[in-house]
Amino acid sequence: MIFARVLLSFTLGFVSQLWSQGRSYGRSMVISQQGIVSTSQTLASQAGAQILARGGSAVDAAIAANAVLGVVEPMMCGIGGDLFVLYWEAKTGKLHGLNASGWAPKGLSPAVLAAKGIKTMPPDGVHSVTVPGAVEGWKRLHEKFGRTAWDDLFGASIHFAEKGFPVTEVIADSWKNGHRRLNVTPEAARLYLPGGKAPAVGEVFRNPDMGRAMRLIAGDARDFYKGEIARAIVETSTRLGGTMTLDDLASFTVEWVEPISTEYRGWRVYELPPNGQGMAALEMLNIMNAASDASPAGPHSAAEMHKKIESMKLAYSDLYAYNADPKFAPVPVPALLSRDFARKRAARIDPKQANCKVPAGDPVASDTTYLTAVDKDGNIASVIQSVSAGFGSGVGVEKMGFLLHNRGSGFTLDPKHPNLLAPRKRPFHTIIPAFMQKGDQRIGFGIMGGPNQPLAHAQFVSHIADYGMNIQEAIETARFTKRNATGCDVTIESRVPLATLQALSERGHQIKITREHTSMMGRGAAVLHDARNKVNYGAADSRHDGSAEPEPINAK
């Protein structure tokens, strides 16, 4: 009997010791005194890290990585899309915001569409196209914060476009799902369905036309807006019955904006102001903060998840009612982010019952690429770039190898809504980069996926601020998502405990369980700079093909 007790005690102690040595997430953080680039595709992360090794800044690395992503993730991003950036300048301690989203053509209006019998904004095709802002955004960032020569930033993207790259797993799945949009125009199908089908995992894909476009941009970024590429865009649009003109492109400028922020559990969290949806992430955090303290039972307890789901619905209902281009319609951002308003919204949460009737507009679907870079000096670029839906508008720019985005589908034709389509107006945008800081800790982060982004940002912040997770665990741990503000449907990864799913179901949530690591939850990345110790940390989501790559050193 004594022997059995000793054996049991030893066994329990041994099991406890083994348990303490494990962890609930898969990858380790990348930790370095040099810079780090984290993206959703390893070739892009590597290209950015190589730029850092050649003396480039975080902005230089981010541009190089983004250019590669446009080649290797063409359904997600590229030069035919828009760009938003938060940039932490270590020397001045200032956070800069850049809105490089394009406007509607001057000739596109509700009346023009009505004359064509179009009663709702097209989800694709030439009338969903607005001016792409990404290239102009890259150029302005480089002028302000770049260190290396502009043309040096595009060597890797040109190489992979012209010589080819093996298609990776997550991207291959997305490619297979893009057949409908890739058949919108013959040029799109020619470019991205070689032999009439999407490339398989490991198949080498080449796009020499895009290599040519990248060479033109490397020579002069303004070629995209005033040169050969601009003429190709307009000729393509005109041939398809579109309204884009050379003046629409040549007159476009990006906008430096002041980030908006809130404080959550001691962390200052930043997003960009409208026309993006970052205010929804901040309002959700405010509502969560006002509703209750974090549950001691953990982030995947029923009480904690219920609070977050209900907070998300309230924040999104406000987002869809008010968000628009602030140059055309007043957006009450200060009121929406006030503590008093958060308390009023939090009071509507029933801790025992899901609310299925929160009024909302129609969300906009989106496919996006997020990346982030930190250099050895502590500068951080938090960058998000997109062609909107998978393969954008489906409009291939002839002989240039890229697709135009369908960001114009984010407008509405409701004359009473602030997001009504108008010439030279920017549409509702889903893509949002983020940044947070506390003391000497500064984090650039983002999580992609259309309407998923604000709620994913809020979960990431809570994982760090409420539960002390590191950035890898916070980006990788199980999440929920929901595509709209109304209804009780919610999608949750199967790693969430069954007891929690049961308790949420009893509260009235209609749960769809997905696989353990699904890109439906968005694909994220994060970097952290510890200013006190001069150490950088990088994290890459298990839901994508990418990695966080440290800056290589010259070991000679």
Q: Is 13 exposed, middle or buried (0-12, 13-18, 19+ CB in 10 A)?
A: exposed
**Spatial distance between the Cα atoms of 56 and 152, rounded to a whole number of angstroms:** 10
Rounded to 5 degrees, φ, ψ at 396 are -90, 130
Q: Is 111 exposed, middle or buried (0-12, 13-18, 19+ CB in 10 A)?
A: exposed
Q: Is 16 exposed, middle or buried (0-12, 13-18, 19+ CB in 10 A)?
A: exposed
35, 375 Cβ separation under 8 angstroms: yes
Instruction: Please choose, from the candidates 455, 446, 512, 498, the residue with its C-alpha nearest in 3D space to the C-alpha of residue 310.
Output: 455
What six digits make up the tokens of 221?
A: 């970024």
CA distances from 314 to 264, 318, 320, 360, 409 (A): 18, 7, 10, 9, 24
**3-class DSSP string for 86-140:** EEEECCCCEEEEEEECCCCCCCCCHHHHHHCCCCCCCCCCHHHCCCCCHHHHHHH
Amino acid at 418: P
How far the first Cα of the chain sits from its last, in Å, is 65
- 3-class secondary-structure state, position 10: helix
CA distances from 187 to 190, 231, 239, 256 (A): 5, 16, 12, 35
From 236, 262, 368, 486, the catalytic residue: 368
Quick check: is 368 catalytic?
A: yes
Given the DSSP bridges, would you call strands 395-397 and 255-257 parallel, antiparallel or unpaired? unpaired
Half-sphere exposure of 341 (CA within 13 A, CB side): 15
Strand partners, 88: 95, 380
**Spatial distance between the Cα atoms of 323 and 333, rounded to a whole number of angstroms:** 9
Q: Which residues contact 156 (CB under 8 A, 6 or more apart)?
A: 43, 46, 47, 50, 64, 67, 68
What six digits make up the tokens of 189?
A: 């199908």
Give the strand order in the sheet containing 535-540. 30-32, 535-540, 524-530, 441-447, 434-438, 267-271, 260-264
**3-class DSSP string for 224-259:** HHHCHHHHHHHHHHHHCCCCCCHHHHHCCCCEEECC
What is the set of active-site residues? 368
